């Protein structure tokens, strides 16, 4: 396992981090299976576990808490808040009112007195940066969080939050958690240059592109993955964006074969090769999935392989731009760019 410093925090983290979104009913993963996954990940040298309050309406946090009981100090524990919890209109967003409540609930579910990294799950356009950063700074000073970060923020919002922290003399976001894979390279254009400029640690999610890069999706095979059953439109190969992804996967698989790698090793080796990326979040549902992904822990891609990948998916390109969560709203809604 490789280790990197998480931004400017001084915290050493593994290049592969364990994402717990699939723990519970989302991934049909039982407590025993989740604990086995955590055990195997820690044994392999993974020291970061990332979850969120909205994963299974708190179920993931509860399962992580049980799995890490008795060894909390050996783990860099991260969770997130901000996405809707239930139907109550104020149980979401990044207001002080909600973040204080949401963190207390997360700590209770996790069975801990603090988390190492608390992340705002999505940018909240209804709450000022000062309001959010002030609340997070107070929670940090109270010892309930060690550091805080953002997740899937557009580049301009990352910059604005850094300036707001400076202007109001508040603690700042020290990490960003964006989506990044061989098939979704858009963050190379704006987000990664910004995170590098401000020295943010970067934990990327979906490095296997929702399973497209797992090796299970290939030309001529029926697509029958767990994720495709949940989101069939993302895997409908009659759609141009999905056809483009499948064509890219076939070419990438040939590169992996020639290099003596699995497609998973190629995919994870690609994202962890970027100097702006600290760790790649893997989200296995089973221990078999975990071991296939841990095989990439020490993968280092040669320049020739990285050049070949660039020829298949142009740097800074998203093959499915409509699936991005940080796209400026005006690019998706014509009414917002017309007077």
Catalytic residue ranges: 55
SS (H, E, C) the chain: CCEEECCCCCCEEECEEEECCCEECCCCECHHHHHHHHHHHHHCCCCEEECCCCCCCCHHHHHHHHHHCCCHHHCEEEEEECCCCCCCCCCCCCCHHHHHHHHHHHHHHHCCCCEEEEEECCCCCCCCHHHHHHHHHHHHHCCCEEEEEEECCCHHHHHHHHHHHHHCCCCCCCEEECECCCCECHHHCCHHHHHHHCCCEEEEECCCHHHCCCCCCCCCCCCCCHHHHHCHHHHCCCCHHHHHHHHHHHHHHHHHHHHCCCHHHHHHHHHHHCCCCCEEEECCCCHHHHHHHHCCCCCCCCHHHHHHHHHHCCCCCECCHHHCCCCCHHHHCHHHHCC
């Amino acid at each position: 396992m490789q280790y990197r410093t998480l931004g400017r925090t001084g915290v050493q983290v593994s290049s592969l981090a364990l994402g717990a979104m699939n723990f519970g009913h989302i991934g049909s993963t039982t407590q025993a299976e989740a604990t086995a996954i955590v055990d195997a990940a820690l044994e392999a040298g993974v020291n970061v576990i990332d979850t969120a309050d909205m994963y299974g309406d708190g179920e993931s946090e509860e399962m992580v808490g049980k799995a890490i009981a008795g060894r909390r100090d050996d783990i860099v524990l991260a969770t997130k808040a901000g996405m809707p919890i239930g139907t109550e209109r104020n149980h979401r967003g990044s207001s002080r009112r909600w973040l204080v409540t949401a963190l207390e609930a997360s700590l209770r579910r996790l069975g801990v007195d603090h988390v190492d990294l608390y992340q705002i799950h999505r940018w909240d356009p209804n709450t000022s940066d000062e309001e959010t950063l002030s609340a997070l700074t107070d929670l940090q000073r109270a010892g309930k969080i060690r550091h805080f970060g953002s997740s899937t923020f557009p580049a301009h919002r990352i910059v604005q939050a850094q300036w707001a922290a400076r202007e109001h003399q508040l603690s700042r976001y020290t990490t960003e958690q964006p989506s990044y894979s061989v098939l979704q390279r858009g963050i190379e254009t704006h987000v990664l240059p910004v995170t590098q400029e401000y020295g943010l640690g970067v934990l990327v999610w979906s490095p296997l592109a929702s399973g497209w890069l797992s090796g299970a999706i290939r030309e001529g095979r029926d697509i029958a993955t767990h994720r495709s059953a949940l989101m069939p439109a993302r895997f409908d190969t009659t759609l141009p964006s999905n056809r483009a992804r499948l064509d890219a996967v076939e070419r990438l698989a040939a590169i992996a074969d020639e290099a003596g790698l699995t497609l998973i090793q190629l995919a994870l080796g690609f994202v962890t090769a970027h100097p702006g990326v600290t760790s790649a979040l893997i989200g296995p549902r089973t221990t078999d999935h975990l071991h296939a992904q841990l095989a990439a822990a020490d993968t280092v891609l040669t320049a020739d392989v990285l050049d070949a990948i660039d020829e298949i998916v142009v740097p800074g390109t998203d093959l499915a731009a409509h699936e991005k969560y940080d796209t400026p709203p005006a690019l998706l809604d014509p009414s917002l760019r017309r007077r």
